[in-house]
Amino acid sequence: MGTFQEIIKSDHPVLVDFHADWCAPCKTMNPILKNIKKELGDKLKIIKINVDNNQQVANRFQVKGIPTFILFQNSEIKWRQSGVLSETKFLEILNSKI
C-alpha cells in the first residue's frame, strides 16, 4: 500500500473512514462498512484512518468528529459526512457518487 496521498490520487473512488478504537459510533459502522465493501466490491476502495495514530492527516482534512467519511477521487473530495449512517442510506449516497 502506498502513502495516503498516492491512495487518494487514484481515479478509482476511495472512501476514507476516520475513526478511533475507543469510539462506539465508529464500532457501529464497522459491520456496515464490511457489507458496503461486499456490495460494491471493486467499484470502491475503503481505507480506515485511526485519528489517534494519524493526527496530521485528520487535521489536514479538518476532521472534528468521528466517524467521518470522506470519498476521494483523483485527490478531490466528492462527498463528506460525519456520524453514523444506515447501510441503506450509505449505499444510496455512494451509488450516486461513484
Is 98 in the active site? Answer: no
- Given a cut of 50, the residues of the chain with pLDDT beneath it are none
Clarify whether 32 is annotated catalytic: no
Supply the pLDDT for residue 73.
96
Q: Report pLDDT for 2.
A: 72
Peptide bond into 25 cis (omega under 30): no
Q: 20, 23, 46, 93: which one is catalytic?
A: 23
- Tell me the three state secondary structure of residue 17: strand
How is residue 73 annotated by DSSP?
Answer: E
> Active-site residue among 8, 15, 26, 33?
26
What is the pTM (predicted TM-score) of this model? 0.96
- pLDDT score for 1: 53
Three cell numbers, residue 80:
463528506
3-state class (DSSP) for residue 78: strand
